[in-house]
Amino acid sequence: MGYFRPAILLPVSLVTSIPLVQLEAILAHELAHIRRHDFLVNLWQILIETLFFYHPALWWLSHRIRVERELCCDDVVIEALGNRVEYGRALVAIDEMYTRQNLLALGVGDGSLLGRVRRIVGLAPDRSSGWAS
């Protein structure tokens, strides 16, 4: 949240319920979004979606861009921390926590969580495997 002075807002229940290694992985993922200026990319994407709302190819492309942004940040976390399994567990823990409360997690609410976790731990060989289409 915020561009000039970015801040990451975390629910207290998340901070107290997952191990420190997993929390560091989640923070690294969010910091990767900040470093990549994904906030600005998302604003431009929303503007273009608003202007060309009627074009189905734009919606497909927009979805692909969002998925790729998440995958790029996943790659940054894996490279920085080197712990694929704990990062995958952190994503699953967040999904379980928010599913129990009937809320949607922002980064994993599109149904691609299983594909992301499989890719993180090395079970999905590349981005063209078709899991996120």
Going from the C-alpha of 121 to that of each of 41, 76, 87, 98, the distances in angstroms are 28, 14, 9, 22
Query: Beta-carbon neighbour count of residue 26 at 10 Å?
Result: 21
Q: Which residue has the higher pLDDT, 106 or 58?
A: 58
Confidence of residue 91 (pLDDT cuts 50, 70, 90): confident
Q: Which of 24, 46, 23 is nearest to 93 (CA)?
A: 23
**Cβ 119 vs Cβ 71: under 8 Å:** yes
Q: Which of 47, 37, 29, 41 is nearest to 4 (CA)?
A: 37
What pLDDT, on a 0 to 100 scale, did the predictor assign at position 111? 55
CA 42-83-21 angle, 5° bins: 85
Task: State the Cα–Cα distance between residues 108 and 70, nearest whole angstrom.
Answer: 9
Q: Which residue has the higher pLDDT, 131 or 6?
A: 6
What pLDDT, on a 0 to 100 scale, did the predictor assign at position 6? 80
Tell me the one-letter amino acid at 68: E
Task: State the Cα–Cα distance between residues 86 and 84, nearest whole angstrom.
Answer: 6
Q: Which residue has the higher pLDDT, 100 or 45?
A: 45
**DSSP label at residue 109:** T
Q: Report pTM.
A: 0.75
Confidence of residue 64 (pLDDT cuts 50, 70, 90): very high
Tell me the one-letter amino acid at 103: L
What pLDDT, on a 0 to 100 scale, did the predictor assign at position 127? 54
